[in-house]
Amino acid sequence: MTNDEQMKEIVRQKYSEIALQDKATNEASCCGSGCCSTEVYNIMSDDYSKLEGYNPDADLGLGCGLPTQFAKIKKGDTVIDLGSGAGNDCFIARQETGDTGKVIGIDFTPAMIEKARANAEKLQFNNVEFRQGDIEKMPVTANVADVVVSNCVLNLVPNKDGVIKEIFRVLKPGGHFSISDIVLQGNLPASIQQAAEMYAGCVSGAIQKQDYLGLIESNGFKNITLQKEKTITIPDDILSNYLSTEEIAAFRSGDTGIYSVTVYAEKPTDAACCPPGCC
């Protein structure tokens, strides 16, 4: 892979393309006639359609969990969604906060922001807003959020420690987050690690599960809880773009695991504005 800024640009370009498509078009992406697995962007998504507040126009099928389902959002809360895309999790969160709450979606892809704002306008939500920005440096003041949610986004960010620090900064003391993301146990084959498409597809940018949880703990969060975990299986027709038949067999029989996890953690009620050591 290339440097951090180049990786960000790869993600921005790919998700700009996705923003211009609908969910059906994204899910119809094929590896060729006859085999038809969805692209790696879509193989991890969960079904949102049964959740109150769901809006199909905002669902591009890009997540790897249902963080808003686990986020313990209350009426009147201020919620921030990191990597808000077309607004799917924001609109689910708005159902929980009600008219007295506020939801802020942050995304660094202009096309996604435009699509999300159009969706909010159609729904006539005046307490849901979308801000373009980098979640490593959020366009939000400190101690503003009761809840932070995010769905399959931190794995796309080179500086994951920086994002965790920012989450701590923007949460009110006593606030909490619920984040769905991709983590690893064991090592991916080098050809997958180096593939730009697999980075943008939320796989090769993932880190070890214990390192991920360790970052959360080292930044001062408490009551860290694994709310959900599921195994992600990449279809052979996608793997075949990067691995030989023998390499796929070795990968399948090896000890490497790819997992979607939903993690909950709280900012202590007596916390300073930012994590230990950053002020």
Task: Tell me: pLDDT of 94 over 60.
Answer: yes
pLDDT over 50 at 157, yes or no: yes
* pLDDT tens per residue across span 44-73: 778 888 888 888 888 887 788 999 999 999
pLDDT of 175 reads: 98
pLDDT of 200 > 60? The answer is no
pLDDT value, residue 14 = 67
Examine the pLDDT at 115 and tell me if it is beyond 50. Answer: yes
Give percent helix, percent strand, percent coil of the chain, each to the nearest 5: 35, 20, 45
pLDDT digits (tens, 9 = 90+) for 9-29: 666 676 677 766 655 555 444
Outline where 136-244 has alpha helix (H): 160-170, 190-193, 196-200, 209-218, 236-239
pLDDT attached to residue 123: 94
- Stated pTM of the model: 0.86
Q: How confident is residue 158, by pLDDT bands cut at 50, 70 and 90?
A: confident
Assess whether pLDDT exceeds 50 at residue 35.
no
Between 141-155, 167-181, 210-224, 265-279, the lowest mean confidence (pLDDT) is in 265-279
CA distances to 231, 232, 243, 253 from 256, in Å: 11, 11, 15, 9
Q: Which domains does the chain have, with CATH numbers?
A: 4-263 (3.40.50.150)
State the virtual CA torsion across 114, 18, 108, 55 in degrees, nearest 10: 60
d(CA 55, CA 146): 23
pLDDT at 153 exceeding the cut of 70: yes
What is the reported pLDDT for 34? 34
110-123 vs 4-19: helix crossing angle, rounded to 10: 40
Determine the Cα–Cα distance for residues 179 and 149; give it in Å rounded to an integer.
5
Instruction: State how far the Cα of 18 lies from the Cα of 197, in Å rounded to an integer.
Output: 13
Tens digit of pLDDT for each residue in 209-257? 999 999 999 999 999 999 999 998 888 888 888 889 998 999 899 989 9
pLDDT of 112 > 80? The answer is yes
Contact indicator for 221, 58 with CB cutoff of 8 Å = no
Q: What is the mean pLDDT of the chain?
A: 85
Instruction: Looking at 40-105, list the stretches that DSSP marks H as alpha helix, in order from N- to C-terminal side.
Output: 67-70, 88-97
Phi and psi, residue 128, nearest 5°: -125, 120
Q: Which candidate, 190, 274, 237, places its Cα nearest to that of 31?
A: 237
